[in-house]
Structure 1
Amino acid sequence: MKREPGSLTSAIFLVAGTTVGAGILAIPAVTQEAGFLASAITCILCWIYMVVTGLLIAEVNMNTMCELGSGGVSLVSMAMRTLGRVGVQVACWSYLFIHYALLVAYIARSSDILTNSFGIPLWESATLFSLIFGGICYYGSQRVIGAINGFLVFGIIISFAALVGVASGDLQWNSLLRANVEAVPRSVPIIALSFVYQNVVPVLCTNLEGNLSKVRSAIVFGTAVPLALFIIWDAVILGVLPNFEMNTANIIDPLEQLRSNNGMVGPIVEVFSFLAIATSYIGFVLGLTDFIADFLVLFGVLPGAMSWSERYSSSSASSMVPPLVPGGKITLTIVIGFAMIIIFWELLENVVHL
């Protein structure tokens, strides 16, 4: 059976659809204390970081493809080649736990939307969503899946534009200049995890047949679309918050306030959320086939660690693909160090709230 070559457009849509989740709507709730200016800069920095980690995964993935002489290389093969058995254990257990939890969450949230919209029982909604989108991923060809995913992404953009249009009526431009740098660290974990797409990088490398330029373009442009949506949505919501003050006593849920002030917002939010969940579900199921783990510990620490081992370990085979990320050990140290800081910060936050 002849394999269908992947297109760059489909690859970009796959990355964009996987990255854009319903969680985008909650970003203003965690950035309102920091203000738009500070949070926009944070979004851009987090985007750059997550692009780097995706490129590092692509670099190791394609070197592994060259060494094994085949496509469809999973993180298991990558970790075994670069980090040994310990790396494989980390990858496998993280994959099983995180992917299971996320797919259950996607199905549960989509079921709520379908039940509220059409009045059908919850279990029927969950079954319907799983059969339709699971069937698309299982039976659909690469071209069919790409076309459906592209259609859903266009639907996301259209519904998002409608949501922005409805919400931006009372936008106060001077509100966008407010910044509270001290509040930025609390928003970094949520913003960074909003750019999770790395589970589909091996799929990109296989579909694009190891074309370095296309893989790089798919990652950069595919994540640039969510970045634009994040910043626009953050600007709209933070720009319409009334009498905003930079202290935690006035922190409110901006989306809920918007719902209560405008009856048109609720239905548009539901449509956007369903489409965003559907595209994320497709991306995660496709990534599932290559056995990739999805968590900042892996997407930050593991890409840097694998690249370090591959580039500088004396026991590793020589690299057959030129580095996709410049900067050598300095860049890799920053990548790994930033991930460790985020992990430590999250642990500290959890301890404080116990």
Structure 2
Amino acid sequence: MTRPPSVISSSLLIASSCIGVGMLGFPVVSALAGFMPATLAMLICYFFATSTGLLILEATLWFDKTVNLISIAKFSLGKAGKVLTWSLFLFLFYCIFIAYIDGGGQIFASMLSSLLHYPIPRHLGIITCVAFIGAMAYAGTKALAGINRLLILGLMISFFSLLSFAFPHIQLNQLTHKNWLATLPTLPIFLVSFGYQNLVPTLTYYAKKNLTTLRLAIFIGNLIPFFVYFIF
């Protein structure tokens, strides 16, 4: 019998689903509200994301068979709920998928151009990106978790390197600005940045339905991006 994955491995899968290029816009989005109002809005979104993840986990554990968000919605909300969930799921994650594939394609095209010393068009970069992601998925969950840990490590090294360069330019007097009315527009951005809930059913079976591991993974997996966003 295979051993269930560790809390750290499961937490990093959730964290990697949350942290993305969207965080680069956080300073611009939250600038009007100010540091304290934006932090409060982010904290509210963190608790909301953690709570919804735990609720989806509970719903997933009701079933003896493998389920996903669509089948859970069908069982609990009926056919109308299934159609609504399917439509929202398709719209949201296809938009996210397109954004990441396009951005990843540009990165791969730039990397290949540097390695080959020849201009690589973006569409070839996109094809390479899709092939790389497909190979990761085909390798299986164990290999995927290992690759994910390496990518998260690279992300954190890059993030703290960026902070080390930016640290001398911090102006603490800018943190005192407050505009509570400007906080509301930040909520949708922060909520999407804690988007991992579609992963919970898969993670439940990946962790062999180990309730302690799953609860800690959801808590820690949301806490990691919260602190990354807070520091950024």
TM-score calculated relative to the size of structure 2: 0.92
| Inter-partner Cα distance in structure 1 for 2:167 and 2:146 | 31
What 5-or-longer segments of structure 2 have no aligned partner?
114-118
Confirm or deny: 8 A CA contact 1:15 1:222 kept in the other structure. Answer: yes
Q: What residue is the counterpart of 1:38 in the other structure?
A: 37
Q: What residue is the counterpart of 1:28 in the other structure?
A: 27
* Superposed CA offset, 1:119-168 (max 9, x none): 3111110111100112111x212221111001101111110001111112
Aligned AA (1:225): I
State yes or no: 1:96 paired with 2:95. no
* Superposed CA offset, 1:31-79 (max 9, x none): 001111111111111101111111111111111x2xxx22x31112211
Q: What residue is the counterpart of 2:132 in the other structure?
A: 132
State yes or no: 1:217 paired with 2:216. yes
Q: How many residue pairs end up in the alignment? A: 226
- The 5 Å alignment of 1:234-245 reads none
Q: What residue is the counterpart of 2:116 in the other structure?
A: none
- Superposition deviation, residue 213 in structure 1: 1.6
Confirm or deny: 8 A CA contact 2:11 2:218 kept in the other structure. Answer: yes
Q: What residue is the counterpart of 1:170 in the other structure?
A: 169
Q: What residue is the counterpart of 2:81 in the other structure?
A: 87
| Inter-partner Cα distance in structure 2 for 1:74 and 1:187 | 29
Over the matched positions of the two proteins, sequence identity in percent amounts to 31
* Superposed CA offset, 1:310-342 (max 9, x none): xxxxxxxxxxxxxxxxxxxxxxxxxxxxxxxxx
| Inter-partner Cα distance in structure 1 for 2:158 and 2:221 | 18
SS of 1:179's partner is: coil
- Aligned-residue CA RMSD (Å): 1.5
State yes or no: 1:153 paired with 2:152. yes
State yes or no: 1:106 paired with 2:105. no
* Superposed CA offset, 1:226-279 (max 9, x none): 10010101xxxxxxxxxxxxxxxxxxxxxxxxxxxxxxxxxxxxxxxxxxxxxx
* Superposed CA offset, 1:75-106 (max 9, x none): 12211211111111112222233322221211
| Inter-partner Cα distance in structure 2 for 1:163 and 1:170 | 12
SS of 1:79's partner is: helix
Aligned AA (2:48): Y
Distance 1:107 1:4, change over 3 A: farther
| Inter-partner Cα distance in structure 1 for 2:69 and 2:109 | 37
Confirm or deny: 8 A CA contact 2:69 2:198 kept in the other structure. Answer: no
State yes or no: 1:228 paired with 2:227. yes
* Superposed CA offset, 1:155-212 (max 9, x none): 1111000111111212122322221112111211111111111111111111112222
Q: Larger RCO: Structure 1 or Structure 2 (Cα < 8 Å, ≥ 6 residues apart)?
A: 2
Q: What residue is the counterpart of 1:73 in the other structure?
A: 67
Q: What residue is the counterpart of 1:179 in the other structure?
A: 178
| Inter-partner Cα distance in structure 1 for 2:21 and 2:3 | 31
SS of 1:55's partner is: helix
| Inter-partner Cα distance in structure 2 for 1:201 and 1:6 | 14
Q: What residue is the counterpart of 1:332 in the other structure?
A: none
| Inter-partner Cα distance in structure 2 for 1:116 and 1:160 | 20
Confirm or deny: 8 A CA contact 1:4 1:142 kept in the other structure. Answer: no
- Superposition deviation, residue 3 in structure 1: 6.0
- Superposition deviation, residue 116 in structure 1: 3.7
